[in-house]
Structure 1
């Protein structure tokens, strides 16, 4: 990881601003969410601490990030206690489940603009710390040369397998943070006697193997976070510039300036919406037909390395459930046209609704990964839209997002073990 040159003032900023008081962050989250949600009661200062990091560019300073993790661990220790989503019926979730265990050595911090380089740093730490539980596998390379990781957690020979993929849309990078913290919570739970509804996590991970793809579109994430500096190849900067010019000329840019336009980048480096690039009602998608911030469907289904990576992973594994993490809207999409797994997809949607409070909605679906899985297989599949604000989701929402979604891996594991 390259070290960026910074002024001493910039280096001091990360330490001065790294930790907000937990109560203050949660209060901000509640203010954002108040008009829509009223179900969740937080435990105050004992809720999950959050770091607000300065917006640093590609190749973050490794020393500073290590300090961020250390500060986060200290904040957890200072605010120890069980953070309970009190809107959840006791019959669904027991108190004191693994995700509420103290974590003396966190592997992934809740950081605004959690980047690809941060993720790779954290994945390597996880592999070194939990070699028997973590396997890192490359399932492809993005257009701009970034490895797309499949993070395999637990017994690879387990009879049940679950896929959780996140970050397929660049500007929705907050869900990559959720996925990484879910991995971290599972590993911490397995190592420290954690349970889920009475089942030891160590036992769960012998019976269920999780495949996490925490950042399915790393180039898009990098563009949304860092603009033109997020890509290495000049041809992709030309696509970004041309997309902005054409969208501005046609009014599709909504009056945004170039910098703001890039923060809204949804597609991959070529401006293709990877989640419109799967062969599920693909031909019915009508879009602008060129690379742009919100993307286009591509020249043909699976034309992009990112969509091919997920498709190949799905073909090579017999998954018992798949979940796609997106933002925003606090919605659960379970249906599509020609859905071969309608009943079971609705069942897992109902479970996630019970623990999150998110609304269940049907959809026809065009070109999405979930739609494609439901078309080609009987695997129950679900899209989870997290947050309420316009993408990129305001990071002040993260504490509530985490409270509503932290139990998803456990509840889905419990489901597949019963079916």
Structure 2
């Protein structure tokens, strides 16, 4: 929501008027705007605007007196508008429900729509494109918070695990609501987490693959995709990127072992490691992001199994065991120290950084999991998300 800024108002004044933590307003605007002596417009997070037609006898002041805002707040919103013959004014509406719905067939177009909605209502959410897929689709990262501690979540490395993207985005929206409503998270004020932690989210690592599973091959790709798929036109079991490379077998953590023992040896709907580590643009984007961001912890959402993996080659730190116990307690998922697998994103992150990394297998059944499981899976992993977000290790 945009309002006029008055030179005599400080950041704290706007926080009081809108019952928001001033740091959220600061993070939603250019840093120097509150130092300028002239006016201008500022963004207020956590609000939308609606038009209201004044009834006979009503005035802006009389309507404002009935709302849970100071009259000055309504006047700031309407400072630039002139009440027309229809006598319309603008009223602020606090966001009290999610602005997105993750419980849907969550493709790349829906993700882009939701990113636009989130950044409109919560302008302190910063988005950037960290790379592009084989077909040139953006791979988006969201950043929330400005602390020194860096926590990363990602989803949809595998195409037919697209439900993880919708779940992760709904978890993000829940956090944003908590921030603007001054709530606590596991006993800690949400704003304290915002000030101490930078949350990084890549909600869809494999947009080409997700769209293939949900919508079929794009124009010009039908022949190649069906050939990789063994002539079948049902792509629901496809895990790989559009070139038939499994993106979670792409990282230089004993990649050679996986290459030798994995079948098939050529592009396929699943399990093909590629011809070399980091051969695919999606994997390169995730590797570059990790190297440049120096995350303190990473969590990758996959499906299925109601379990998670937290070790790799004995290179994980001792604190990973404690985090795994808490993740298991909060979710009911089984904690698995190690499995006979290599070349995954979590594996490589632990190997290179010696910091906690987790692969969470959401839900249980056959991929792709049905949307009927969405609510249960969301409840199961909510504690994992909040614990990773709010606890320092």
**Does residue 112 of the first structure (1) align with residue 116 of the second (2)?**
no
Taking the aligned partners of 2:110 and 2:303, their CA distance within structure 1 comes to: 20
Question: Which of 263, 266, 272 is the equivalent residue of 1:290?
Answer: 266
Q: 2:233 aligns with which of 243, 247, 259?
A: 259
Structure 1 contact 273–296 (Cα < 8 Å) conserved? yes
Counterpart check, 1:209 vs 2:184: no
Determine the structure 2 residue equivalent to 1:137.
Answer: 128
Matches within 5 A, 1:230-309: 231-232=218-219, 234=220, 236-245=221-230, 258-260=232-234, 262-285=235-258, 286-309=262-285
* Residue ranges of structure 2 left out of the alignment (5+ in a row): 1-93
Report the Cα distance in structure 2 between the residues aligned to 1:271 and 1:126, rounded to whole angstroms.
Answer: 32
Say yes or no: does 1:128 pair with 2:126.
Answer: no
Cα drift, residue 414 of structure 1: 3.2
Aligned-CA RMSD value:
1.6
| SS in structure 1 at match of 2:233 | helix
Deviation of 1:295 after TM superposition, in Å, equals: 4.1
Q: Deviations over 1:172-215 (max 9, x none)?
A: 01111111011101111101112112211122111101000000
> Counterparts of 1:11-410 in structure 2 under 5 Å?
104-132=96-124, 134-155=125-146, 158-228=147-217, 231-232=218-219, 234=220, 236-245=221-230, 258-260=232-234, 262-285=235-258, 286-337=262-313, 339-361=314-336, 362-410=338-386
Whether contact under 8 Å (2:157, 2:204) holds in the other structure is yes
Q: Is the 8 A contact 1:336 1:364 kept in 2?
A: no
Distance in 1 of aligned mates of 2:389 and 2:204: 21
Q: Which runs of 5+ in 1 are unaligned?
A: 1-101, 249-257
Q: Report if the CA contact (8 A) 1:321-1:380 is conserved.
A: yes
Would the aligned equivalents of 2:102 and 2:169 in 1 still touch at CA under 8 Å? no
Q: TM (normalized to structure 2)?
A: 0.72
Q: Where is the strand percentage greater, Structure 1 or Structure 2?
A: 2
- Cα distance between partner residues in 2 of 1:194 and 1:404: 21
SS of residue matched to 1:335: coil
Give the Cα separation in 1 of the matches to 2:326 and 2:209.
Answer: 31
Q: So what's the TM-score if we normalise by structure 1?
A: 0.68
**Aligned partners of 1:295 and 1:103: how far apart in 2?**
43
Rg larger in 1 or in 2? 2
Q: Matched residues in 1 for 2:119 and 2:383: separation?
A: 23
What is the aligned length? 296
Q: CA-to-partner distance for each residue in 1:348-398, whole Å, 9 max, x for gaps?
A: 221111110001112132110000011111110000000111000021111
C-alpha distance in 2, partners of 1:266/1:287? 14
